[in-house]
Amino acid sequence: MSLKDQVDVARQLLANYPVVTIPREVMELRKLLDLYEFPNPSKIKELVSTSPTLAGDLVALANKLSQKKPQPKSIQSIDAAIDFLGLKNIKHYVFCVQIQKMLDASPVQGLSYHSIVIADILVQLSKKLNLLNTAEAYMFGLVHDIGTFLFAELDKLHPETFVASLMNHYQVHQDEYARFGTTHSAVGYVMTKDWGLKDEVCKAILLHHEDDLKRIKDKDIRQLTAMLELAHVLALENKKNILETELPVLYEDTIQVLGLTEDDVNQIRRQVHP
């Protein structure tokens, strides 16, 4: 089945089962922030402060990210949170806190944990590769498997299969297609396109279980896809019985596309598995 057909089926299903709805104020805030090339801190503070929950969530996220720095500091105010997260990144982090809540509330076992682990690794990889900024990389990780939400809605037993699906990176699409006529990657693509995420990021989500990266003609999309797949290798390589046959192939392909050496990857490994 072609990718186009998978996307079409995903779009039809989402029209009938709108499983994830981003709150209106978050979408409005994102659109408003898009208007400012050089955002004014007081304007952003004013916008964020219209939702006390959002403001609190941003402070909590800033604290969480600060803990990963060599010299973590306690962030107590929205001003300090905006300062720490960076003006240009706030629109991505506003989105991140919303997605994080949805992941935490999801019945899909292991999805929230997996998404955060991948997001953290993508942040480290993005610093090395300069393909995305830190905020975009974190969001990329959080949303990459968001399409699973739809299958959890269609089949109440599906949430229990997510962790098992991680053991077979290439097979998971075939299984999903046989059951639902589409894949979590195609569903995630439609969702993230609708939310207005960067086109290359949406396409990398669509392709993130691709077994032959050479088939991806666009260099940016190929590299983002490789970055996401390499993050899976680094997240799963220490687990027993996972991807034993697929891991080495996935690893070699991705580091070749990304132009990374074994030393580069070891450096990332030390950061993600300290």
What is the smallest separation between the CB atom of 32 and Fe ion, expressed in angstroms?
Answer: 31
What is the smallest separation between the CB atom of 231 and Fe ion, expressed in angstroms?
Answer: 8
Nearer to Fe ion, 114 or 222 (CB): 114
Nearer to Fe ion, 245 or 261 (CB): 245
What is the smallest separation between the CB atom of 140 and Fe ion, expressed in angstroms?
Answer: 11
| Pair of tokens at residue 31 | 């659109």
Burial profile 68-96: b = 16 or more Cβ within 10 angstroms, e = fewer = eeeeeeebeebebbbebbebebbbbbbbb
What is the smallest separation between the CB atom of 232 and Fe ion, expressed in angstroms?
Answer: 6
What is the smallest separation between the CB atom of 172 and Fe ion, expressed in angstroms?
Answer: 7
Q: CB within 8 A of 8, min separation 6: which ones? A: none
Nearer to Fe ion, 145 or 210 (CB): 145
Nearer to Fe ion, 241 or 261 (CB): 241
Angle at 120 between CA 139 and CA 82, to 5 degrees: 60
Give the whole-angstrom CA distance, residue 101 versus residue 82: 20
Nearer to Fe ion, 86 or 181 (CB): 181
Give the whole-angstrom CA distance, residue 150 versus residue 168: 20
Cα dihedral 220/1/110/188 (nearest 10): 50
* Shortest-Cβ-distance residue relative to Fe ion: 145
Give the whole-angstrom CA distance, residue 211 versus residue 135: 27
Range 45-104, binding Fe ion (CB under 5 A)? none
Q: Does 176 bind Fe ion (CB under 5 A)?
A: no
Range 124-153, binding Fe ion (CB under 5 A)? 145
Q: How many residues in the shown chain lie near Fe ion by CB under 5 A? A: 1
* Residues that bind Fe ion in the complex, under the rule CB under 5 A: 145
